Every structure is written in structure tokens, then in C-alpha cells.
Amino acid sequence: MNCDCHMHMVLDGVEWRSAIARHSQKPDTEFIHKALAQYQRNGITYLRDGGDRWGVGAKARELAPQYGITYRTPLAPLCQEGHYGAFIGECYVNLKEYARLVAGIRQRGGDFIKIMISGLMDFDRFGVLTEESLPETQIKELIHVAHEEGFSVMAHANGARTAEAAARWGIDSIEHGAYLDKDALQTMVQMGTVWVPTLSTIGNLLGKGRFREEAVAAILDSALENVADFAAMGGLLAPGTDAGAWAVPHGSMTELGWMEKALGAEAESFLSRGAQVIQERF
């Protein structure tokens, strides 16, 4: 694959607090150069960052052309105060404030909008998310405001009803997408939503002993099953490692291998179709 449609330059795949601390005064350009060089060595020509509020993705975008890489960043991801995402993004308390943040991202040259609309997987407990998702009425408004500003929208979204709601209201891509079901997948196919399942964040945990192994294996199995179903239904899938997440270093090439577990030899052609749509939209 020659692209990674979901990564975080601010993180390092080891420990998020110290990774962020490295850039808290100003972006560590030496770190960014090293990561970009690694992507270049692996043949990557397109990166889509999940965002950070310290300007690390923006700095990477500035340096990326030296490495022959097209780099897209939402600047900071936007999250609802009190919900998942505050560790890395900018928070809003109401829709008016959200609209102000979106306008700010327009002014500061963001390439797209990233919203956080659900919690994370609890890797110790199959089927459990760390918190409640945002309600559908709010998801609809978040997407609408960003589209009105002319942005494409990427959503961190886990859970079938959350992803289904986001797809119904025209989200451009769903990231992670744990625990989807047939109805959610069907809506995503109908709406042309690109799904970036970031299988590496799950698969790369196997055998590491960080979480309950049976839970990790069950989470991975359900993701692989959904990926296979989605592909069979004609859905758009794109490769994104979530590099920077634990056990996913920059320049990781693990995503294709996990996708092959679900899709076999056809994985690459499926992914290149989805990746092309991502690059058109973002």
C-alpha cells in the first residue's frame, strides 16, 4: 500500500503522555523528519493525520513534500467537553462553540474536520465501549456544520448505532468502527461511506499481554468478520494503521496483512479503491 489514511504524528506507538510532552513546547521537527523518512522508505506517498492540538500534524504537512508525501491534517480533532478526545483535541460545550472551532480550522488552514463521537473499545472486555456515544441529533449537526463550511468529515466512531447515524447524515469516513452490524454496514454502503477499520490497533495487541488475550482475539474476530461482510456488500474500505497508537509505530505496514486475513488476496484491490476515494475527499 502506498498510503496510510489514519495516523497520528504527535504519538509514537509507545506511550502517549511522553509522546505528547515531546511536542508540548513546539513540534519536535527531528522526530517528524525521522517518521516521514520511515514512511518514505516504505513507499508511502499519502498520509492522513487524525489530528492534535500542538501543531504537530501541521508541521508534518509543511515538511512532507520533501519526502514526496501529500499530507492531510484536520489540525485539532474536535470533541464534546467531558467526552473522549480531550487528551488530544479541542473541546466545545455546545454547537455554537463547535461552529466557532470549525471556522477557526478553516482560518488556520485545516484540510478537513475530525470529530470524536464515541468512546474507545475496552480491550479487556469484548463488546464494551468506554463511554456513551453522542446522540444522533448532535452527530447530524456536527456533520452538517462542517459540510456547510466546505469540509469533508472524518469521525472517530465505534458502535453500530453511532456509525449508522454518522453514515445516515453523510459522514465522509468512519474510523475504527468497532462492533458494527448488518444495518450499520448497509447504511454505510448505501451512503458511500469509507470505512477505515484500523485493524492494526487491535491485531498488533495479540500476544503482548497488555490486555486479556481472549478479549483481544474476540474483538479482532468480530472486526474481521465485519470487514469481510462489508467488502462482500460492495463497501469502501481504506487502509489506516492508527500509527502512533500503542504497538503501531510510524511507517507500520501491518494493515494490509490484517486486511488479508479478512479478504484474502483481494485485500489490496479493495483497499486501493477505498484509498482512492479517501484521497479524492480529503
Q: Which is nearer to Zn ion, 96 or 204 (CB)?
A: 204
Q: How far apart are CB 170 and Zn ion at their closest, in Å?
A: 21
Q: To which residue does cell 474536535 refer? A: 78
Segment (H or E) for 21: helix 16-23
Backbone angles phi, psi at 71, to 5 degrees: -125, 130
Q: Which is nearer to Zn ion, 28 or 242 (CB)?
A: 242
CA 172 to chain CA centroid, Å, is: 12
Q: Which is nearer to Zn ion, 101 or 243 (CB)?
A: 243
Q: Which is nearer to Zn ion, 5 or 165 (CB)?
A: 5
Q: Which is nearer to Zn ion, 65 or 158 (CB)?
A: 158
Residue whose beta carbon is closest to Zn ion: 50
| Cβ neighbours, 10 Å, residue 20 | 18
b/e burial code for range 245-264 (CB count within 10 A of at least 16 → b): bbbbbbbbebbbebbebbbe
- Side chain identity at 143, as an amino acid letter? I
Q: How far apart are CB 242 and Zn ion at their closest, in Å?
A: 4
Q: Which is nearer to Zn ion, 131 or 148 (CB)?
A: 131
Q: How far apart are CB 77 and Zn ion at their closest, in Å?
A: 8
Residues that bind Zn ion (CB under 5 A): 50, 242
Q: How far apart are CB 214 and Zn ion at their closest, in Å?
A: 25
Q: To which residue does cell 480531550 refer? A: 86
Q: State how far the Cα of 263 lies from the Cα of 11, in Å rounded to an integer.
A: 29
Q: How many helices (H) and strands (E) does the chain have?
A: 11, 10
Q: How far apart are CB 186 and Zn ion at their closest, in Å?
A: 25
**What is the grid cell recorded at 88?**
488530544
Q: Which is nearer to Zn ion, 50 or 159 (CB)?
A: 50
Q: State how far the Cα of 266 lies from the Cα of 232, in Å rounded to an integer.
A: 11
**What is the grid cell recorded at 124?**
479487556
Q: How far apart are CB 266 and Zn ion at their closest, in Å?
A: 26
Q: How far apart are CB 209 and Zn ion at their closest, in Å?
A: 23
Q: State how far the Cα of 177 lies from the Cα of 171, in Å rounded to an integer.
A: 13
Mention every residue, 6+ apart, whose C-beta is less than 8 A from residue 53. Answer: 75, 76, 88, 89, 90
